[in-house]
Chain A
Amino acid sequence: MATLDSKIPAGPIHEKWTNHKNHINLVNPANKRHIDIIVVGTGLAGGAAAASLAEMGYNVKAFCYQDSPRRAHSIAAQGGINAAKNYQNDGDSVYRLFYDTVKGGDYRAREANVHRLAEVSANIIDQCVAQGVPFARDYGGLLDNRSFGGVLVSRTFYAKGQTGQQLLLGAYSALSRQIGKGKVQMLGRHEMLDLVLIGGKARGIIARNLVTGEIERHSAHAVVLATGGYGNVFFLSTNAMGSNVTAAWRAHKRGAYFANPCFTQIHPTCIPRSGEHQSKLTLMSESLRNDGRIWVPGKVEDAKAIRDGKLKPTQIKEEDRDYFLERRYPAFGNLVPRDVASRAAKERCDEGFGVNATGEAVYLDFQSAIMRYGKEKAMVEGIQNPSADKIQALGKAVIEAKYGNLFQMYYKITDENPYETPMKIYPAVHYTMGGIWVDYNLMTTIPGCYAAGEANFSEHGANRLGASALMQGLADGYFVLPYTIGEYLSSEIRTGKISTDLPEFIEAEKNVKDQIEKMINIKGTKSVDYFHKRLGKVMWDKVGMARNAQGLTEAMAEIRAIREEFWSDVRIPGTPNGLNPELEKAGRVADFLELGELFAKDALDRNESCGGHFREESVELDGEQKGEAKRDDVNFAHVSAWEWTGDPATSVKHKEELVYENIKMVQRSYK
């Protein structure tokens, strides 16, 4: 059994990173030329890491499953990226960002990592601006900020509703520069299907060329996994269709521990599902909660009339509306963290106040903001006694400038105009805080194998604050991993080129080929999606926003049964020799079917409520916090890192105790 040494440097929290960086072994430039690094995934984390490592002089091979690194799912992030710049002079600081992130994560993240993240956050903005990332600016030409849930300062930098796109294109441009120089070899439309270990160290990967179907061996002195999150285990999520756990899972099966798989973020503001035909849910950025107010009718009859199409939301009087977040959480109101907002919406809908045909939707209303901005604008423009229509028009223009593309997206999907009638929203699976366990250097339990970005588990604890994933991805890729990896690689300078003819490569390749052969030869009767949808339903119903021991136990058994059925009855048309999207999906779903069971097992094991993980058995029974989630710090202030034993049901748990030396653990209160 490997021990979980988190390798947190000694010393006071604000000196740990600087000291550590100063003492990391360096690899001299002449030696870097002889060291190969594989980076799997070229989103913010992988793209930034590949570019930075190549700039430093290493030989980099980068992989992604899309045709181009510019299309990684980071591109879809809308709202923004946090950084402790304190440009707004509202009292922000590195400490405050650190504190907010630890508290927001419900005290289940590692202090030292979070502090480092807060420290490097300001550099990220500088770096991106230097690359030409067009962040939003004010009329003075300086950078603008907005606020996100769970915090009381404005520290979020943004580029309209396309922040992820602009940041990824920045990282892509840095990566393109290195590809142009021949320092990065980019392999698009390639999927990693196994990790190769030699003498216990990560030495390469097996990848499938998705166009030709060829199975390829690639060797390196270190392997970085930056392959994103696994929210698609729920089938419906805001993740891209191809987002998967495969790379992480195959590394897990080779010895990388998987930490806190049950920590999932259900995002409160997504477009509700409309029917069975849907294969993807769409997020409406959290930034909308800056200006939108969330409500349901105060009277059950009104909610029913709305569902039956007999009443319109605009006809409901102010006093008959229940702005439930403002009511329950007066201090944070509509800006409570995501987990809190999601559960509150579910609670109202479960009580019968939902506002669409499925009963699973609440309103996000911009009317107050339109009026407020309209009045402000009229003042600024010196318009005397503006008419109500004029105010509306001015206000709508302000809202359009801020959120135009999101409103358009909403309109195109729902055919309803959100400037005229409130948006309908409902929580959906969005992000996975859990992931591959890493130490302070971002190394997994396999020497030489690193994990960065959403694929690792480290910074967000049990709940991630908005605009912090982009920050973490870029921090890992630009500013952390390129340094910490030197510690390991400095002992690899004499290793020399690693041959792909070694028996371990041959074994791993055979393993991959056998699995593909086996799947394609089942020739059963059901499509891959059929199994994925069933898995998703079990996950959503029993391992979703509210979980209990009975449901979780059932879920484990049901997932196992679906998995067995998959392996005897899936049908994959075509051959493995060439582009075959069904085969790609099948491999991913096979892994989700194993992960899903471990996910439920982890949720069952963690008999407390914390962050996004809500156990119905663990709630406050009385006092001001009655009905709110109840954490159990005595028994669960630890990371659960799971070791693969050949079957998810028998996976072995290892604990990393979490020690809070700088922040006192208290009940999270947003009241």
Chain B
Amino acid sequence: MAEKLININLKIWRQQNGQSQGKMVDYPLKGVSTDSSFLDMLDMLNEELVNKGDEPVAFDHDCREGICGMCSLYINGEAHGPDRGVTTCQLHMRMFKDGETITVEPFRANAFPVVRDLVVDRSAFDRIMQKGGFVSVNTSGNTQDANALPIPKVDADKAFDAATCIGCGACVATCKNASAMLFVSAKVSQLSLLPQGKVEAKERVLNMVNQMDLEGFGNCTNTGACEVECPKGISLDNIARMNREYLKATVTID
């Protein structure tokens, strides 16, 4: 499709900091290229705001290729916007119509407090990982040869698919309960599918789930919204696998 220029009406959440009240503010924007990405469009808006002497809209972003998980916008009521299988930074303006009104909000959840405007604090995810999202192996340089332990391709592929989670938090923002089950289950699954991860499987799932609850994420009621909005296609199968792991661990832990 050839490039076009469109005019849009943005409604953006503005909030000075974590303590202050926020509100939606209207920003009309003209002449946006349909070839530009959503974040290129926000850059364009911010350039206009700076030139007017206003404070630009703060939003998180870094790699701009859909892999760092930093970008996190709730666009027209959907985490990462209307396209499927993409992050906000990969969303392109060709998905929007000339004259369209576009609402932009931060990822909302109790466990993700707003820092400023569209920026939220997702460090709860890091704290969950610190409770068990790893294999306890030191970097001695004396681990066994990588090919000493063949892993069936199907398991390796499934582990890889789970491991592609970028920790963006769209699953949480989308879930009506603000549950982090998809995120946590992706890591639990990856490691439980691999022989290296099996040794600590029980402690891992118990500790990570416990931390998830402490952080104030909600319960999973299997609505499946998370899977739909996940930019990396992390599957609900992982939640089922984590539930099995959890059950196994609670029944057999000594």
Q: Which residues of A contact B24 (CB under 8 A)?
A: none
| A614–B65 CA distance with the chains assembled, in angstroms | 29
Question: Is A71 part of the contact surface with B, judged by Cβ < 8 Å?
Answer: yes
Q: How far is the CB of A527 from chain B (nearest CB, A)?
A: 4
| A127–B144 CA distance with the chains assembled, in angstroms | 8
B3:A67 contact, CB within 8 angstroms: no
Among the stretches B157-165, B172-180, B212-220, the one at the interface with A is B157-165
With A176-B129, A579-B58 already in contact, the answer to whether A68 and B167 are too (CB < 8 A) is: yes
> Residue among A67, A139, A274 with the most chain B CB within 10 A?
A67
Interface residues on A, range: 35 or more
Question: Is A479 part of the contact surface with B, judged by Cβ < 8 Å?
Answer: yes
Question: Is B123 part of the contact surface with A, judged by Cβ < 8 Å?
Answer: yes
CB nearest to A412 among chain B residues: B90
A70:B139 contact, CB within 8 angstroms: no
Question: Is A571 part of the contact surface with B, judged by Cβ < 8 Å?
Answer: yes
Interface membership of chain A positions 344-379, coded 1 if the CB is closer than 8 angstroms to chain B and 0 otherwise: 000000000000000000000000000000000000
Question: Is A578 part of the contact surface with B, judged by Cβ < 8 Å?
Answer: yes
Question: Is A529 part of the contact surface with B, judged by Cβ < 8 Å?
Answer: yes
| A624–B164 CA distance with the chains assembled, in angstroms | 47
Among the stretches B97-105, B188-196, B239-247, the one at the interface with A is B188-196
Contact of A578 among B53, B60, B116, B133 (CB under 8 A): B116
With A173-B135, A479-B139 already in contact, the answer to whether A141 and B146 are too (CB < 8 A) is: no
Contact of B68 among A73, A135, A413 (CB under 8 A): A73
Question: Is A75 part of the contact surface with B, judged by Cβ < 8 Å?
Answer: yes
With A66-B68, A75-B68 already in contact, the answer to whether A134 and B194 are too (CB < 8 A) is: yes
A140:B150 contact, CB within 8 angstroms: yes
B147:A142 contact, CB within 8 angstroms: yes
Q: Which residues of B contact A142 (CB under 8 A)?
A: 147, 150
A76:B167 contact, CB within 8 angstroms: no
Contact of A166 among B44, B121, B143, B160 (CB under 8 A): B160
For residues 155 through 214 of chain A, which have their beta carbon under 8 Å from a beta carbon of chain B? 159-160, 162, 164-166, 169, 172-174, 176-177, 179-180, 186, 188, 211
Interface membership of chain A positions 27-55, coded 1 if the CB is closer than 8 angstroms to chain B and 0 otherwise: 00000000000000000000010011001
Question: Is A278 part of the contact surface with B, judged by Cβ < 8 Å?
Answer: yes
Question: Is A5 part of the contact surface with B, judged by Cβ < 8 Å?
Answer: no
Among the stretches B6-14, B33-41, B221-229, the one at the interface with A is B33-41
B144:A130 contact, CB within 8 angstroms: yes
Interface membership of chain B positions 8-45, coded 1 if the CB is closer than 8 angstroms to chain A and 0 otherwise: 00000000110000000000000011011101110110
A66:B70 contact, CB within 8 angstroms: yes
Question: Is A567 part of the contact surface with B, judged by Cβ < 8 Å?
Answer: no
Q: Which residues of B contact A172 (CB under 8 A)?
A: 129
A55:B64 contact, CB within 8 angstroms: no
> Residue among A55, A131, A134 with the most chain B CB within 10 A?
A134
Q: How far is the CB of A611 from chain B (nearest CB, A)?
A: 26
Question: Is B237 part of the contact surface with A, judged by Cβ < 8 Å?
Answer: no
With A140-B150, A172-B129 already in contact, the answer to whether A160 and B160 are too (CB < 8 A) is: yes
A177:B156 contact, CB within 8 angstroms: no
CB nearest to A529 among chain B residues: B47
> Residue among A71, A174, A582 with the most chain B CB within 10 A?
A71
Q: Which residues of A contact B145 (CB under 8 A)?
A: 126
B141:A479 contact, CB within 8 angstroms: yes
Question: Is A246 part of the contact surface with B, judged by Cβ < 8 Å?
Answer: no
Interface residues on B, range: 35 or more
Interface membership of chain B positions 181-218, coded 1 if the CB is closer than 8 angstroms to chain A and 0 otherwise: 00000000011001011000000000000000000000
| A529–B49 CA distance with the chains assembled, in angstroms | 13
B35:A277 contact, CB within 8 angstroms: yes
| A52–B137 CA distance with the chains assembled, in angstroms | 11
A132:B62 contact, CB within 8 angstroms: no
CB nearest to B128 among chain A residues: A176
Secondary structure at the B interface, as helix, strand, loop or mixed, is loop
Question: Is B130 part of the contact surface with A, judged by Cβ < 8 Å?
Answer: yes
Q: How far is the CB of A441 from chain B (nearest CB, A)?
A: 17
| A279–B39 CA distance with the chains assembled, in angstroms | 9
| A211–B121 CA distance with the chains assembled, in angstroms | 10
A174:B129 contact, CB within 8 angstroms: no
> Residue among A52, A87, A140, A165 with the most chain B CB within 10 A?
A165
Question: Is A280 part of the contact surface with B, judged by Cβ < 8 Å?
Answer: yes
Question: Is B67 part of the contact surface with A, judged by Cβ < 8 Å?
Answer: yes
Q: Which residues of B contact A127 (CB under 8 A)?
A: 137, 139, 141, 143
For residues 87 through 136 of chain A, which have their beta carbon under 8 Å from a beta carbon of chain B? 87, 120, 123, 125-132, 134-136
| A85–B50 CA distance with the chains assembled, in angstroms | 53
Contact of B56 among A67, A280, A573 (CB under 8 A): A573
Question: Is B138 part of the contact surface with A, judged by Cβ < 8 Å?
Answer: yes
Q: Which residues of B contact A68 (CB under 8 A)?
A: 122-123, 125-126, 167
Q: Which residues of A contact B116 (CB under 8 A)?
A: 578-579
Q: How far is the CB of A655 from chain B (nearest CB, A)?
A: 34
Interface membership of chain A positions 383-421, coded 1 if the CB is closer than 8 angstroms to chain B and 0 otherwise: 000000000000000000000000011001101000000
Q: Which residues of B contact A241 (CB under 8 A)?
A: 61-64
B35:A275 contact, CB within 8 angstroms: yes
Q: Which residues of B contact A55 (CB under 8 A)?
A: 138-139
| A280–B119 CA distance with the chains assembled, in angstroms | 20
A71:B139 contact, CB within 8 angstroms: no
Question: Is B254 part of the contact surface with A, judged by Cβ < 8 Å?
Answer: no
Q: Which residues of A contact B1 (CB under 8 A)?
A: 415
Question: Is A330 part of the contact surface with B, judged by Cβ < 8 Å?
Answer: no
| A25–B1 CA distance with the chains assembled, in angstroms | 64
Q: Which residues of A contact B149 (CB under 8 A)?
A: 129
Question: Is B69 part of the contact surface with A, judged by Cβ < 8 Å?
Answer: yes
Q: How far is the CB of A396 from chain B (nearest CB, A)?
A: 18
B150:A282 contact, CB within 8 angstroms: no
Question: Is B82 part of the contact surface with A, judged by Cβ < 8 Å?
Answer: no
B196:A571 contact, CB within 8 angstroms: no
With A138-B153, A579-B119 already in contact, the answer to whether A413 and B92 are too (CB < 8 A) is: yes
Question: Is B252 part of the contact surface with A, judged by Cβ < 8 Å?
Answer: no
B143:A126 contact, CB within 8 angstroms: yes
Q: How far is the CB of A137 from chain B (nearest CB, A)?
A: 4
| A409–B129 CA distance with the chains assembled, in angstroms | 28
Q: How far is the CB of B161 from chain A (nearest CB, A)?
A: 9
B153:A137 contact, CB within 8 angstroms: yes
Q: How far is the CB of B94 from chain A (nearest CB, A)?
A: 6
| A658–B66 CA distance with the chains assembled, in angstroms | 41
Question: Is A9 part of the contact surface with B, judged by Cβ < 8 Å?
Answer: no
Q: How far is the CB of B53 from chain A (nearest CB, A)?
A: 6
| A530–B47 CA distance with the chains assembled, in angstroms | 9
B139:A579 contact, CB within 8 angstroms: no
Interface membership of chain A positions 137-156, coded 1 if the CB is closer than 8 angstroms to chain B and 0 otherwise: 11111110000000000000
> Residue among A135, A177, A275, A408 with the most chain B CB within 10 A?
A177
On A, residues with C-beta under 8 Å from B are 48, 51-52, 55, 66-73, 75-76, 85, 87, 120, 123, 125-132, 134-143, 159-160, 162, 164-166, 169, 172-174, 176-177, 179-180, 186, 188, 211, 240-242, 274-275, 277-280, 282-283, 408-409, 412-413, 415, 478-479, 482, 527-530, 571, 573-574, 578-579, 581-582
On B, residues with C-beta under 8 Å from A are 1, 3, 16-17, 32-33, 35-37, 39-41, 43-44, 47, 49-51, 53-56, 58, 60-70, 83, 85-86, 90, 92, 94, 115-116, 119, 121-123, 125-126, 129-131, 133-139, 141, 143-147, 149-153, 156-157, 159-160, 163-164, 166-167, 190-191, 194, 196-197
Extra pairs beyond A277-B32, A571-B53 (4, CB < 8 Å): A66-B70, A176-B126, A242-B62, A573-B55
Can you spell out 13 A-B residue pairs with CB atoms less than 8 angstroms apart? A51-B139, A69-B126, A71-B62, A71-B167, A73-B63, A127-B139, A129-B143, A129-B196, A132-B135, A136-B156, A174-B137, A412-B83, A529-B43
